[in-house]
Every structure is written in structure tokens, then in C-alpha cells.
Amino acid sequence: MWYPDPVLKRRAEPVAAIDEGIRALIDDMFAVMREEEGLGLAAPQVGRSLRIFVTEEHEQFPARAYINPRLITADGPVAVRDEGCLSLPGIRVGVRRPSHVRIEATGLDGERFELEDSGLMGRCWLHEHDHLEGRLITDWMSPIDRLAARRALRDLEAAFEEDR
């Protein structure tokens, strides 16, 4: 799903049980993320308003599914780094985020786990968690970012209208 599809702006619903349907959805999410060579992907990006995201293997972190994730803390010095999003092709936004993140979630095995990171993976958790809250990198744009991305956003809006 691409901007401005309304599924991307909705707050996603918790997952009640990890059944066959959820496992199949997560398989699809991994496939899409790898096809697009992204670091992470959230369920609303494949049209499902559910609190799930997946991340690719990176440094000490294996590829993983996060079901009903909860941010425990997001603190430390704020850093600005350019982020892209598979739902907003061609757009990069400098996003200010806290640099230290602790998160907990349920894995595919049904067990709760907790992780922390002060690097790119922590930033990725915040980006993917934003998707579950209905927030996109467009919500972090400055007026100058918006001006710079005006044409790309207009093209995406036109494509969305055409597909309806």
C-alpha cells in the first residue's frame, strides 16, 4: 500500500491470536520486505491494520517478527537521520528521533521478548511502530521537506486516485 491509502493513517488493531492466518501474513510481509530490500515492514503497508511488523537481519539482530510490540523507552540524545519508506517511493525525510530504544513484543513462537538498541535498528523500530500508530514520515516533514517532496507526493496522490 502506498501513500495516501487510508489504511496507512489508521491506528492498527492488536493481534488476538497467532494462528495460521497471522503466520501466512508474516510470511508475506517478509517476502515483500525482501523484494523491496527494506530493513522493516509493517502490516498496514500490506493492507492489514494489525499490530505487527517485521525487520530484516542487521548486525546482532536476526530477522524477526514483532507482534503487538510496545515501546518501553525511547530516550537518549535526539538524532536526525534520513529515512525512506516503502510506502513513499522516492521520498526521503530527515527524522528527529531519540537514539536509545527499548521495545518488547511477542515473537512467532508466542513468547514475549525484549530488545534494546542505540543504532539503526532502534530507529527502525520507531519507524515501524509509527506505522502501527498511523504515522508516516510525511508527518515528520518540515515545511521545506514538504516543498522539496511536493511533486513526488502529488504523483503518489494522483496514482492513488487513478487506482480507485
Number of residues that bind Zn ion (CB under 5 A): 1
Cell of 138: 510525511
- Closer CB to Zn ion, 85 or 103, in the complex: 85
Beta strands in 16-92 (DSSP E): 40-42, 52-55, 64-83
In whole angstroms, how close is the CB of 87 to Zn ion at the nearest point?
6
Check 20, 36, 116, 128 and give the catalytic one. 128
* φ, ψ of residue 41 in degrees (nearest 5): -155, 135
93 lies in the site for Zn ion, by CB under 5 A: no
Q: Segment 14-53, which members bind Zn ion (CB under 5 A)?
A: none
Q: Name which of 21, 119, 126 is nearest 66 in CA terms.
A: 126
Give min distance, CB of 42 to Zn ion, in A.
Answer: 7
CB 133, min distance to Zn ion, A: 12
Judge whether 1 and 87 are in contact, CB under 8 Å: yes
C-alpha closest to that of 9 among 68, 87, 116: 87
| Strand ranges for the chain from DSSP E | 40-42, 52-55, 64-83, 93-106, 112-117
- Residues in 48-87 at the binding interface with Zn ion, rule: CB under 5 A: 85
- Minimum distance, C-beta of residue 135 to Zn ion, in the bound complex (Å): 10
Is 128 part of the annotated catalytic residue set? yes
Residue closest to Zn ion when measured from CB atoms? 85
Tell me which residues in 111-130 interact with Zn ion (CB under 5 A).
none
Q: Which is nearer to Zn ion, 19 or 139 (CB)?
A: 139
Instruction: Look at residues 22, 9, 21, 84 and name the one whose alpha carbon lies nearest to residue 52.
Output: 22
**Residue ranges binding Zn ion (CB under 5 A):** 85
Active site residues: 128
